[in-house]
Amino acid sequence: VGYLTLPIEKFYGSLLLIGLILFQYSPPPVYADESKTIERLIELTEPRGRAVQEKIARINAGEKAYMQFCVHCHGLQGQGDGRASAYLRPFPRDLSLGIFKFRSTPSNALPRNEDLQRTIKQGVPGTAMPAWGEVLAEETLISLVEYIKYFSSRFQIETPDFIMPIGLEPPYEKRSIEKGRILYKELRCGRCHGEKGQRSGRLENKLTDAWGDPSVVYDLKQPWLYKAGYSSEEIYHTLVTGMDGTPMSAYDYVPAGDLWHLVHFLQSQQKNEETPSLRMSQKIVSNSTSKKIGISPEDIVWKGIESVSIKLRALQSASGHPSVVKVQSLHNFEQIAFRLQWKDETPETAKPGANFYMDAVALQFSSLSKFDLIYYGMGERQKPVNIWHWKADSFQIVEGQPQFHNKFAVNPFSEKSVEEMNASGFGTLTIQSLEDQQVVGKGRWKNGKWTVVFLRNLKTESPFDIQFLESANALVAFALWDGQKKEKNANKRVSFWQQLLIP
């Protein structure tokens, strides 16, 4: 009915038209094997090509970050010979040999990417290596890992693929601590660390690392000095993997249960002092006031002014609690002042005779507004820094001690306790002329604490000075010397760049 009665000539005509259409739009004939080969090549090349391009981009980004933040200590080829290395103890790590202390892999194995990233991110306590994760993005840390792996050929031929297991931690109790104490003696840990971990072993000053440099023994009673961390898991990992390149071997042959007892013993010996949880870089606001600003550390003008706590790292000291300096700032549209306070139980000032170790503090300024534009250690070539350096000379007030007034105790050519200096990298420090010495200051020690005030005009005529402009940003960093610990010159504690805001 209907379509069943289609005439025969129309049926064949329609069939011919369909054939022409199919022929017109058919793809050119290919052999089956050739077709599969092309498809396979497309599958392989496109994802792999993208991956290669992404890796090249990461390496390039890592090189850029390395040249900004790492080359000053680790050197151009990662051999630990950067311009800052001569001033650091312990020396920066030589990355070219492929020997790494901090790993989750067995002893003598390479670290995983995650291990390298963790070290860069969290820094290394007791050294000048800061926690870059506080100021750098996660993607930048990943890029740095990719770049530094090219310093050692080991990464081209070896693949770290085994993580040392940790297992379950038993309860922290007296029985476990006692077993750990016995194991501490059996393993002869005291030969280096002392019988109670207090850094007094007979081998303490006789150890060297894989590079022939002195190997520093750390006080196990100070948890903030545990380089790979002081949590239970972190201490266990350090014990089971060792610290390659140092005399600290791996205790992977000790049964896991016994090793946990040793962890508990070490934790039982730790001091319960709070460690400062401060960010590496912060904002310091210079508050405006209509009042006159003086140099007296006890001036009432500072009452109620918010302070910012700044964390400092030791460049050459392997002991001691992390230092903190509290900073306040004021300006009255003509002058700008900074008030610094820090704990110091034993004030060291210039006294009659030769006293070469005095308490001191310094501010370092850069007119640049971003920390990634200039190195925080004494500036760079064509990127100078302006430094205000205060020393506890004989004219500073120390309550509870006799006052000596010997104007030759510090510098016979200086009439002030503050000197202005300039630097454009390591080895370039120069003192400004007397005509350019614009900063005044005063220090006072009372009840175990130093308070020091710096004061200067917002603007000066000297081309070597930092010029503080209203509604502008600048960078400021801090350095601290403890005379009682015989700190002087490059042996100091320093902060990273802080952002200074002048509203």
Domain CATH number, residue 311: 2.60.40.1190
Indicate the residue type of 92: P
Kindly state whether residue 276 falls inside one of the protein's structural domains: no
**Cα–Cα dist 62/235, whole Å:** 30
Nearest CA to 417 out of 455, 457, 386 is that of 455
Residues spanned by the domain of 190: 174-269
Q: Are strands 323-331 and 287-288 parallel, antiparallel or unpaired?
A: parallel
Same domain, 399 and 306: yes
Kindly state whether residue 414 falls inside one of the protein's structural domains: yes
Same domain, 254 and 335: no
Q: Are strands 498-502 and 493-494 parallel, antiparallel or unpaired?
A: unpaired
pLDDT tens for each residue of 58-113: 999 999 999 999 999 999 999 999 999 998 988 899 999 999 999 999 999 999 99
471 CB burial (10 A radius; 0-12, 13-18, 19+): exposed
Confidence (pLDDT) at 15: 46
Nearest CA to 489 out of 358, 363, 355 is that of 358
Same domain, 347 and 252: no
Kindly state whether residue 61 falls inside one of the protein's structural domains: yes
Confidence (pLDDT) at 26: 45
Kindly state whether residue 298 falls inside one of the protein's structural domains: yes
Q: What is the dihedral of CA 139, 142, 148, 150, to 10 degrees?
A: -110
Same domain, 232 and 301: no
Same domain, 356 and 233: no
Same domain, 431 and 327: yes
**Cα–Cα dist 139/143, whole Å:** 6
Residue where one domain finishes, among candidates 269, 296, 318: 269
Same domain, 460 and 313: yes
Confidence (pLDDT) at 416: 74
Confidence (pLDDT) at 188: 94
What is the CATH classification number for the domain harbouring 103? 1.10.760.10
Kindly state whether residue 482 falls inside one of the protein's structural domains: yes
In the predicted model, residues of the chain with pLDDT beneath 50 are 1-12, 14-32, 35, 405-410, 412-414
Same domain, 257 and 304: no
The answer to whether the pTM exceeds 0.95 is no
Same domain, 153 and 191: no
Kindly state whether residue 164 falls inside one of the protein's structural domains: no
Residue where one domain finishes, among candidates 126, 157, 188: 157
* Domain count of the fold of the chain: 3
